[in-house]
Chain A
Amino acid sequence: MKTKNFLYSQKTAPYIFALPFILSFLIFWVYPLVSAFIMSFQDIGAITVDWVGFKNYGKLLKDKVFHTAMINSFEYMVFTCALLIPFPMLYAVLMDGNLVKAKGVWKALLYLPALTSVVISGTLFRLMFSEYKTGQMNVLLTMLGLPAIKWLKTKWTSEIALLMLCCWRWTGVNTLYFMSGLKSIDKSLYESADIDGATGWQKFKYITIPLIKPTTIYVLTISIYAGLAMFLESFMLWAGNDSPKNIGLTIVGYLYKRGIQKDDMGYACTVGVVLLLIALVINFIQLWLNGSFKKEER
């Protein structure tokens, strides 16, 4: 009876409700995160595990392949942020106004790519960017009077393919994020701006942009993370983790290659830890630039 009272008391209940999270947090988050740090200082063989200090980190600094992977991931991240924030914002503003007809149809169609898995979308794009003259992108080039290209064999043409795949999948999702952000803006602000004779651009600049800033910061944050941690898109576009001269290798791709394909867990975890540090630094800079810290101090 006593234990029953204890379990049913208002003081104990919240802990019982939160228990699954506490357990999952410890077992599937803290433990692997700590292990990642520990393993990054180890050389992990099939049977033996040796402590090697900072040797993995030293090796990573000099690892040319890792540098390539870093550059690829950064380029991809910068370009995706540059493409997947302004355009979806513009689309959302247009959708939010009353000019566009049949909004529901366009919204559903824009969102469709997000429903396809990477296997399917990656395969479709690989076939579209096929190096044969009959591939769609090459047919398009021929129509424009340009020579056919081996899209996935050189650095910049494959970057274009990757970015198109990414924009294709996420434009609709980001547009929906911005639309939901716009919904929360008080429409009377625009009406009073109209009375003051504001132009459309002024309203966009002085009302819309500042007021959807929380949405923009959120979309920017997830875009940075997704960009840095991109792997499967490249994995599918080249039907495996190997691209010519590593033009499609990303940080996570290198982590996967080292850890799973080459069974060098210690070194792969070092890659992971470096990725974590980069992600955290970028996010702190971004939050700081956006003044999120100041807001909390007030």
Chain B
Amino acid sequence: MSAAGPAVTVPPAPGPGPAGGRTRQRPLALRLLARPEVGVFLGAVAVFVFFLIAAPSLRQGGSLATVLYQSSTIGIMALPVALLMIGGEFDLSSGVAVVSSALTASMLSYQLTLNVWTGVLAALVVSLAVGAFNGWLLVRTGLPSFLVTLGTFLILQGANLAVTKAVTGNVATDDISDMDGFGQAKALFASSFGVGGVQVKITVVWWLVFAALATWVLLRTRYGNWVFAVGGDRDSARAVGVPVTFTKVSLFMLVGFGAWFVGMHQLFSFNTVQSGEGVGQELIYIAAAVIGGCLLTGGYGSAIGPVFGAFMFGMVNQGIVYAGWNPDWFKTFLGVMLLGAVLVNLWVRRTATRR
């Protein structure tokens, strides 16, 4: 059996060589470049240094905390969106789903005069259900995720406005800050804590905790392996026994969980919810994931990349303000960053997968 044939990589050799079969590893630089987050890490450092020079007021701790806070609100959502993207799909409804979740919690608690935690849990159920619906429809029909989630996006956008107006007679929900359980929920979702005299929002901590968790799941668990597989080649994955349906549906539900968390953060920091918000945010999340090195077509990416991607967003967003520039240029800046990141990623992948 062991003498079955010559080694395929080195045709003249009669069998596995004394070097243990691993005759030659690819160079370290190539293996490093093959990591999806390398490009965005360098980009984030570049943007960071650039704005530290261009905007001196950014060098204070308070400003940096603001940048991190801004990054975390994008970053928490960018994580599940990135995992979903690695799994081969994306979700256009993620932006308005955040608002749907916040509206659900707010209106349910207020109208029925319940403890806010009831609303919070109901919102979680609704968010997970929306995700499950997206995933189920996608798997059942085989339609592209663009179409399925565009439909959900429009449905939620309309429902957010219509239901809010019907229930409250207004486009925003009522203030729930004096209701039972508000303090506890605010502590969990929207509090701040001091570090060396600087107030840091708790979402920054959650962001980094979730990122660490997502990285571990993606690289160290069976589920992570399945995510890469269903995104890389769904038919191959199915053929070797990967539960494709479960993986896809659960990824959509994970986005639902992210939408719930960010929705709760918004609700408990501002006490009310504007029903028309959230539109366009889904593209920001997707952009952060792509800048973070995730392949739009699936099968490749990381969870740590989108952390840097979201940080770049927060940095540019606040950096422009602190530098005293016209903030209208923000989106233009983002567009350039996105294209740059896509090109760098393309180049990196070609270089890294070349033998």
A and B bound?
no
